[in-house]
Amino acid sequence: MLLVFGLAILALIDCLSSESDEIRALPKVVWVFIILLFPLLGSIVWFLAGRPRRTEPRSAWPAGDGFPEATRPIAPDDDPEFLDRLRRQQRSDDEKLLKQWEEDLRRREDDLRRREGPGDEES
């Protein structure tokens, strides 16, 4: 009895989640009544004669169905504008860092020259 109930629930869920225009033989409402009135026989007949034939796996969220994320790149690293901005920012950061290193090197050289003084040079 539990097996019949489980099969009927499975058939009912499958029937209700199928697209109405894909269901074979009878309208969806009629299939629901058949499955509810004759759980064992209705479920078996649903799986044999009414269930849509699927040649490709069905997706829960078909792409391009009004969702805004379907019209733009999924990830930032797929967006050419984002990557270009990132490269420009990296170049700018590298130039700033190089200038800071050069200034620091000049300052250290100047400090070293001042400490040694003009008369401290050994030849």
Convert the pLDDT of each residue in 64-117 to its tens digit. 555 555 565 567 777 888 889 999 999 999 999 999 999 999 999 999 999 987
Is residue 111 domain-resident? Answer: yes
Is residue 57 domain-resident? Answer: no
Do 44 and 83 reside in the same domain of the chain? no
Convert the pLDDT of each residue in 91-100 to its tens digit. 999 999 999 9
The pLDDT of residue 97: 94
Closest CA to 96 of 107, 84, 88: 88
Its pTM stands at 0.45
What is the rounded CA–CA span in Å between residue 86 and residue 84? 5
Is residue 61 domain-resident? Answer: no
Do 41 and 81 reside in the same domain of the chain? no
Name every residue whose Cβ is closer than 8 Å to that of residue 110 and which is 6 or more positions away in sequence. none
Do 8 and 48 reside in the same domain of the chain? yes
Domains contained in the chain, number: 2
3-state DSSP of 38-97: CHHHHHHHHHHHHCCCCCCCCCCCCCCCCCHHHCCCCCHHHCHHHHHHHHHHHHHHHHHH
Do 6 and 48 reside in the same domain of the chain? yes
Domain membership of residue 40 as a residue range: 2-52
What is the rounded CA–CA span in Å between residue 111 and residue 88? 35
